[in-house]
Amino acid sequence: MVVEDRRPTLLVECKLRDRDIDRGLRYLKQRFPDAAAIQIARSGQRDFVTPQGIQARPAVEFLRGLV
């Protein structure tokens, strides 16, 4: 979780491989709807956004976007 001014701005869940969106991440996104939420997978291939606005991406793609 990345926090600015005591408010979450980014919620990240890390997995080894593609999985359904984690229950805890869904809960946090519901509790903090303005925060971006992403689930990354080290050996993942799926890249999508849920109706709740949670993004799932391969870790490589997520990390490329940071540089």
Report the distance separating Cα 67 and Cα 52, nearest Å.
Answer: 27
pLDDT tens string for the chain (67 positions)? 999 999 999 999 999 999 999 999 999 999 999 999 999 999 989 999 999 999 999 999 999 988 7
Contacts of 3 (CB under 8 A, 6+ apart): 9
Which pLDDT score is estimated for 67? 79
